[in-house]
Amino acid sequence: MGIVMGPNQYGKAEVRLVAVDRSTPRHRIKDLTVSSALRGELDPAHLTGDNSKVLPTDTQKNTVFAFAREAPVGEIEDFALRLGKHFTSTADGITGARILIDEHAWERIQVDGAGHDHSFSRGGDEKRTTAVTFDGEHAHVVSGLRDLVVLKSTGSEFHGYPKDRYTTLAETSDRVLATAVTARWRYSSTDVDWAKSFESVRARLLAAFAETHSYALQQTLYEMGKAVLHEHPEIAEVRLSLPNKHHFAVDLQFCGLDNANEVFHAADRPYGLIEGIVTRDEAEPQPAAWYSIDEF
Ligand SMILES: O=c1[nH]c(=O)c2[nH]c(=O)[nH]c2[nH]1
């Protein structure tokens, strides 16, 4: 029985880059977490310790900072495309690259009703994301968002499920539905107005969550993905990972009180995890675009 080296990639994970655009007195901030991963002629490195094709992860990290200095960072998709193109076209033996970027939001501090020029507050946990993959000739762009926490206080039911001797869950025709949305969507080209597309997809996801009368989070997931594909011809598929953030109505009979769906215990774990891919039937699958992306 032989032993061989299988697929591999390597790079610098989670470079924390903050770039301040000081070109006008009204500063702008880009706060990013950037990970690079390279592939190519790396068997010798693994098999014999020959590092002649191993562009150090330290150099990869330096490149991220230098690129932010040499030109404005711009949209995360464009920054990732620039980095990926650089690594695959300049590093000897490197034929593939994956650049992951999470963008952390900052909002201007409001002073006397106006946004301050150079003072900011963190805009919550939500992150805008991109995963750009250079796969030989092609660049795939998968953009998305993480930790978009949403809740609806009615308009959600869950019943009709099979019961067995282990079932205790009561059927309900009115419950709280809450989740922290992770969504990633694959573009079919790189000729896209990234910021405009992102804002519109986010709005479609939120509207579908709000407007779907839900019989299960699975059904809401499909409606959210469908709403995006309906509005966005530039997107081929949407992948969603939706933790069901359970809200259990508390039984208050112990002190003689009823509870008409007003008082809940927000349990943080365990949680149901509902995941799925919504795709156009004519879309050609591109597994390389998704390789080793965390949730999928
Ligand atoms: O929307 C839901 N989907 C499930 O699959 C499920 N399972 C469960 O216990 N509660 C729920 N809710």
108-142 pLDDT, tens digit per residue, is 999 999 999 999 999 999 999 999 999 878 999 99
216 lines ligand 1 (CB under 6 A): yes
Do 264 and 218 sit in the same domain of this protein?
yes
> Cα angle at 59 between 91 and 128, to 5 degrees?
95
Atom number of ligand 1 nearest to Cα 156: 1
Residues 6+ apart with CB under 8 A from 109: 115, 116, 119, 120, 121
Terminal Cα-to-Cα distance of the chain (whole angstroms): 32
Residues recognised as catalytic: 12, 57, 246
Residue 1 above 90 pLDDT?
no
Do 203 and 224 sit in the same domain of this protein?
yes
Q: And the tokens for 91?
A: 């590093």
**Residue 143 covered by a domain:** no
R_g over Cα of the chain: 23
Q: Which CATH number fits the domain that encloses residue 41?
A: 3.10.270.10
64 lines ligand 1 (CB under 6 A): no
**Residue 141 covered by a domain:** no
Q: Which phi and psi angles does 195 have, rounded to 5°?
A: -65, -45
Q: How far apart are CA 64 and CA 42, in angstroms?
A: 22
Neighbours of 125 (CB within 10 A): 12
Q: How far is the CA of 244 from the centre of ligand 1 (A)?
A: 8
238-284 pLDDT, tens digit per residue, is 999 999 999 999 999 999 999 999 999 999 999 999 999 999 999 99
34 lines ligand 1 (CB under 6 A): no
21-52 pLDDT, tens digit per residue, is 999 999 999 999 999 999 999 999 999 999 99
Do 194 and 162 sit in the same domain of this protein?
yes
Domain end: 106, 136, 166, which one?
136
User: In terms of residue numbers, what domain contains 25?
Assistant: 1-136
* Segment (H or E) for 132: strand 114-135
Do 294 and 156 sit in the same domain of this protein?
yes
Q: How far apart are CA 288 and CA 133, in angstroms?
A: 7
272 lines ligand 1 (CB under 6 A): yes
Q: How far is the CA of 156 from the centre of ligand 1 (A)?
A: 11
Do 105 and 248 sit in the same domain of this protein?
no
Do 179 and 110 sit in the same domain of this protein?
no
Q: How far is the CA of 46 from the centre of ligand 1 (A)?
A: 45
Q: How far is the CA of 151 from the centre of ligand 1 (A)?
A: 15
294 is in an annotated binding site: no
Give how many domains the chain has, as a whole number: 2
Residue 296 above 90 pLDDT?
no
58 is in an annotated binding site: yes
Mean pLDDT of the chain: 97
Domain end: 88, 115, 136, which one?
136
169 lines ligand 1 (CB under 6 A): yes
Full-model pTM = 0.96
Nearest CA, atom 2, ligand 1: 216
Atom number of ligand 1 nearest to Cα 220: 1
Neighbours of 96 (CB within 10 A): 18
